[in-house]
């Protein structure tokens, strides 16, 4: 959460609706074991990675996610979830200066200490959060399990790598930023030091995948800069096209581009109701509770 995931989910949902793919809901992964199940095509949710549970329901899937610098990640959460109003109107700086006393508080709001690695690896032992050797080993195992880690700070570049991974077109990747806010304050070195100490595992996670990200860019199959420029021109053209409210007719391309995630997800679920009977029948035949 708060890593550009809503914008990314919208891209996936729009592609799924265009191609009449079936979207998984989190309940589809609960305590199920399936054999040769084909009823669900993709998932686009905030969820902890449980590859064995997902592969039971979506076999042979590609796995990708998005992460963000822990500095801006925590700041975004502070303002989005209105932490200040719940903490006697504390400023972000005051919050950061006393992070140690807020462990339980942030956990309640799904913004855990080392919360990005928590989402990616439910097996991670938080008692080892200051053990760099243990952390790096866990990160290397994640690297083997995931096909792509996108970086919010390099979103367009990330989408080009995603395009190659999924064999998509530029129009499948154009986006409208969802739930974005401009920074309200400046991060000073003392604040960065406090956040780094508090979320050490997330920093090692980000540094590792920042390095491997640019290795993927270096090994890109094609002219990366040319494709990046072409995508950004297409992105700007689509933004201009959808700028007018007249272009945003309900469930149109522009509506799907700019609407909030929960609305487009609702439309996607509604769309697939026409073939849900077939999916339920197959699930009954091929899946069982564990």
Phi, psi (degrees; rounded to nearest 5) at 129 = -70, -15
Mean pLDDT to the nearest integer, 221-236: 96
Higher-scoring residue by pLDDT: 168, 243: 168
Write the pLDDT tens digit of every residue in 43-96. Answer: 998 888 888 889 988 999 999 999 999 999 988 888 888 888 878 888 999 989
Q: Please check the confidence at residue 221 and state whether its pLDDT lies above 90.
A: yes
| pLDDT tier at 243, thresholds 50, 70, 90 | confident
> The tokens of 73 are what?
């990640």
Query: Under a CB-based contact definition with an 8 Å cutoff, are residues 230 and 169 in contact?
Result: no
End-to-end CA distance of the chain: 29
Residue 209's closest CA among 126, 121, 123? 121
Q: How far is CA 174 from the centre of its chain?
A: 16
CA distances from 182 to 76, 83, 89, 185, 186 (A): 9, 17, 19, 9, 11
Is the entire prediction scored with pTM above 0.85?
Answer: yes
Residue 258's closest CA among 181, 182, 175? 175
Given this model, what pLDDT does residue 246 score?
77
**What is the domain class of 5-289 according to CATH?**
alpha beta
């Amino acid at each position: 959460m708060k890593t550009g995931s809503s914008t990314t989910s919208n891209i996936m949902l729009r592609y799924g609706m265009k191609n009449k793919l079936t979207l998984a809901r989190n309940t589809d992964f609960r305590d199920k074991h399936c054999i040769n199940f084909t009823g669900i095509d993709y998932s686009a949710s905030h969820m902890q990675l449980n590859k064995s549970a997902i592969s039971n329901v979506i076999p042979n899937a590609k796995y990708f996610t998005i992460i963000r610098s822990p500095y801006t990640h925590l700041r975004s959460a502070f303002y989005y979830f209105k932490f200040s109003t719940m903490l006697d109107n504390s400023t972000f700086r005051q919050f950061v200066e006393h992070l140690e006393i807020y462990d339980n508080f942030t956990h309640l709001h799904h913004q855990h200490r080392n919360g990005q690695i928590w989402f990616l690896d439910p097996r991670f032992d938080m008692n080892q959060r200051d053990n760099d050797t243990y952390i790096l080993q866990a990160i290397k195992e994640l690297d083997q399990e995931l096909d792509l880690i996108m970086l919010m700070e390099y979103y367009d570049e990330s989408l080009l790598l995603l395009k190659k991974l999924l064999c998509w077109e530029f129009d499948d990747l154009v986006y409208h930023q969802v739930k974005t806010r401009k920074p309200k304050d400046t991060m000073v070195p003392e604040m960065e030091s406090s956040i780094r100490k508090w979320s050490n595992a997330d920093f090692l996670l980000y540094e590792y995948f920042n390095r491997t990200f640019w290795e993927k860019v270096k090994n890109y199959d094609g002219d990366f800069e040319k494709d990046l420029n072409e995508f950004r021109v297409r992105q700007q053209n689509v933004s201009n096209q959808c700028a007018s409210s007249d272009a945003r007719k309900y469930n149109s391309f522009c509506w799907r581009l700019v609407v909030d995630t929960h609305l487009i997800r609702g439309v996607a679920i509604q769309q697939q109701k026409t073939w849900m009977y077939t999916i339920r029948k197959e699930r009954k035949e091929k899946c069982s509770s564990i």
